Amino acid sequence: MRSAATPRRSVTVRVPAKINLELIVGPRRADGFHHLATVFHAVGLHDDVTVEAADDWGVTVNGPYASLVPADGTNLAMRAARLLASAAGVDEPVHITIDKDIPVSGGMAGGSADAAGTLMACDALWDVGSSKAALEEMGAELGSDVPFALTGGTAMGSGRGDRLAPVLGRGHYHWVLALSDSGLSTPKIYAELDRMRANGRVPKLVPSASMMTALRSGDAASLGRALNNDLQPAALSLQPRLEEVLRTGMEIGALGGIVSGSGPTVAFLVPDNERGLDLAVALTASGVSPAVKRAVGPVRGAHIVTGPVAPRSS
Ligand code: ATP
């Protein structure tokens, strides 16, 4: 064990939300997860995770979603800190502060983002020096989306979404995110999909050619047409009002619209910033969505914004 004599200091890591540009869901695996083929896309909606040496382990969540997030040992950020401490043989408690801007249970992997941010922040605070690959491996133990939160950009995910490969893509895209005031539970969405698919065919686990072509070209209109999420019918089945959100956004002029991951956030693609502002205003005025945010993607994955050292790139 390392000594606890480290001077008091803190590290803050900024970490993005994700949407899935394409999400193909295969059969359920023996471990209960589903086989996936997905295209992750990190968008500019962030949580900031600060870790600070402390006498006891603890977590504080700030922001409008704080009441929806556990402030105890079940918080994914706390689990991440303890996992790294145990793997690295560190015995230095930290207090974790999460400034949360990513909606909770919104299908944007906010909990995974916090776990990723905490791994990177603690690694720096404790001077562990893990490679990015080692952090990703540890992250996969905490949740399927954690490795992507570390990587960011646009990437293909296979396995249960935790095995990443780069995607050749160009351009930046403007998104309008229609939030919901009631979350959707990821396990319930997968269970609903299994129910709807009973005896049905399961798709081949490869991203579509149209998605890959759209990303290579950087053409937003093509990307809008290629958006695809196998979980969307299950999300619409459990929250039918999402259909109206999707219809309204498309009528107002989005290039494409999709339920993000397991929902209920709906992501609309627009041609530029100005059209994004127009859509955000019109969606808000229509009353179909209680809150609307705008974000650009892709953005970088978890990165230190204040603190002593950055981890080595693998
Ligand atoms: P995904 O897209 O990966 O399915 P999500 O965005 O739909 O995830 P999260 O916001 O990650 O959902 O939260 C899912 C559950 O995890 C909630 O019940 C929440 O209370 C719990 N949770 C635990 N730790 C955290 C955290 N640090 N931030 C957010 N939620 C957390």
Give the pLDDT confidence of 236-245 residue by residue, as tens digits: 999 999 999 9
Give the pLDDT confidence of 265-307 residue by residue, as tens digits: 999 999 999 999 999 999 999 999 999 999 999 999 999 998 6
Q: In the structure encoding, which two tokens stand for residue 31, read together?
A: 């471990």
Which among 17, 18, 295, 19 is positioned nearest to 173, based on CA atoms?
295
Q: How confident is the model at residue 314 (pLDDT cuts 50, 70, 90)?
A: very low
Ligand 1 centroid to Cα of residue 112, in Å, is 7
Residue 105 three-state SS: coil
Ligand 1 proximity of 265 Cβ (cutoff 6 Å) = no
| pLDDT of amino acid 1 | 45
50 forms beta bridges with 12, 97
Residue 107 three-state SS: coil
User: Is residue 19 within 8 Å of residue 36, measured between CB atoms?
Assistant: no
Ligand 1 proximity of 161 Cβ (cutoff 6 Å) = no
Ligand 1 proximity of 288 Cβ (cutoff 6 Å) = no
User: Is residue 224 within 8 Å of residue 261, measured between CB atoms?
Assistant: no
Look at ligand 1, atom 18, and give the residue with the nearest C-alpha: 105
- Looking at the CA of residue 75, tell me the nearest atom of ligand 1: 24
Give the pLDDT confidence of 174-188 residue by residue, as tens digits: 999 999 988 888 899
Ligand 1 centroid to Cα of residue 5, in Å, is 34
Q: What is d(CA 164, CA 151) in angstroms, rounded to the nearest whole number? A: 9
Ligand 1 proximity of 111 Cβ (cutoff 6 Å) = yes
Mean pLDDT of the chain: 93
List active site positions: 18, 145
Which residue's structure tokens are 């983002």?
Answer: 113
| pLDDT of amino acid 307 | 66
Please check the confidence at residue 110 and state whether its pLDDT lies above 60: yes
Look at ligand 1, atom 29, and give the residue with the nearest C-alpha: 111
Using CA atoms, how far residue 224 sits from 22, 105, 253, 271, in Å, is 11, 24, 11, 10
Ligand 1 proximity of 108 Cβ (cutoff 6 Å) = yes
pTM metric for this prediction = 0.92
Give the pLDDT confidence of 245-271 residue by residue, as tens digits: 999 999 999 999 999 999 999 999 999
Look at ligand 1, atom 26, and give the residue with the nearest C-alpha: 111
User: Is residue 299 within 8 Å of residue 108, measured between CB atoms?
Assistant: no
Please check the confidence at residue 308 and state whether its pLDDT lies above 70: no
> Which residues are CB-contacts of 79 (< 8 A; sequence separation ≥ 6)?
73, 115, 142
Of 3-7, 108-112, 185-189, 247-251, give the lowest mean pLDDT range. Answer: 3-7
Look at ligand 1, atom 17, and give the residue with the nearest C-alpha: 105
Please check the confidence at residue 89 and state whether its pLDDT lies above 90: yes
User: Is residue 16 within 8 Å of residue 140, measured between CB atoms?
Assistant: no
